[in-house]
Amino acid sequence: MDTKQRILDEALTLFSEKGYANVFVGEIADRVGIKAPSLYKHYKNKRAIFDAIIDEMNSRFVEQAKALNINGTDASADSEIYRNMSEDNLLVLGRQLFLYYLHDDYNKRFRKMLTIEQFNNKELADIYTKLYVDDPLSYQSMLLGMVASAGLLHTDNVEIMTLHFYAPIYYLLTICDRDPSREPKALETLDAHIKQFDRIYGRER
């Protein structure tokens, strides 16, 4: 990886642990293995590093969204999966979603940085809301809606059903971000949640 990219990488790690203001330019340089002044050959100033991180993450997530949408809107490709969705498949879906969000390195560090900076930076607050509130809700609404229209889930309000699916996942995610030692317990709770969700919405009522 070239130096310019390594600077972004180390900076993101540090920003996600301590927040922008607590990270010094010299600290980033140290991690990269250069001296602070050398860093200014790659970026105009400290803020430019921060902005470059946001730009890169934004395009990363735009690509990801594109990839999801291709599968998501192409009913012929996906419908078979979701029309045959058993409790086991629902468990796998929820677990994958959770573990991807939790362990994907960029996702995790970027989310923590957004968490720290959200009240101080309206742009980051909006990105957070998009990535961890609005996008998951609309994506999962679509998936669960397909499962429901196949008759495997039953509700008269897909939005609330999706909230009941996602809110506990989000809640467990924030717990693990704060304290990774709670991860095993959170995974158990996740499974119990999804099984219960399937029992609740998975039969005629």
Partner DNA sequence: GTCTATAAGAAGATAGAC
Partner DNA sequence: GTCTATCTTCTTATAGAC
Number of Cβ within a 10 Å radius of residue 201: 19
Q: Does 112 bind its own copies (CB under 8 A)?
A: yes
Using rule CB under 8 A, residue 69 touches its own copies: no
**Considering only residues 81-100, where is the footprint of DNA by CB under 7 A?**
none
Range in contact with its own copies (rule: CB under 8 A) among 29-37, 62-70, 85-93, 125-133: 125-133
**Contact between 14 and DNA per CB under 7 A:** no
Closer by beta carbon to DNA, 113 or else 142: 113
Q: Which residues of 45-66 are buried (b: 16+ CB within 10 A; e: fewer)?
A: ebeebbebbbebbeeebeeeee
Closer CB to DNA, 12 or 169, in the complex: 12
Name which position in 31, 163, 183, 202 contacts its own copies (CB under 8 A). Answer: 163
CB nearer to DNA: pick between 50 and 132? 50
Look at the alpha carbons of 142, 143, 149, 154 in this order and tell me if their dihedral is positive or negative.
negative
**Among residues 89, 164, 183, 187, which is the contact residue for its own copies, using CB under 8 A?**
164
Is 184 a binding residue for DNA by CB under 7 A? The answer is no
Task: Confirm or reject binding of residue 192 to its own copies (CB under 8 A).
Answer: yes
Using CA atoms, how far apart are residues 194 and 164, in angstroms rounded to an integer? 10
129 residue type, one letter: T
- Using CB atoms within 10 Å of the CB of residue 89, give its burial: 0 to 12 exposed, 13 to 18 middle, 19+ buried: middle
Residue span binding DNA (CB under 7 A) among the ranges 20-28, 92-100, 104-112, 176-184: 20-28
Close Cβ partners of 141 (under 8 Å, ≥ 6 residues apart): 158, 159, 162
Binding status of residue 46 toward DNA by CB under 7 A = yes
**Which of its own copies, DNA, none does residue 105 bind (CB under 5 to 8 Å by kind)?**
none
Residue type present at position 62: V
Residue with smaller CB distance to DNA, 5 or 73: 5
Long-range pairs of 106-109 with CB within 8 A, sequence gap ≥ 24: 106/12, 106/57, 106/60, 108/16, 108/177, 109/12, 109/13, 109/15, 109/16
Provide, rounded to whole angstroms, the least separation between the CB of residue 1 and its own copies.
25
Site string for DNA, 123-142 (x = CB under 7 A): --------------------
By CB under 7 A, name the binding residues for DNA: 3-4, 23-26, 29, 33-38, 40-42, 44-47
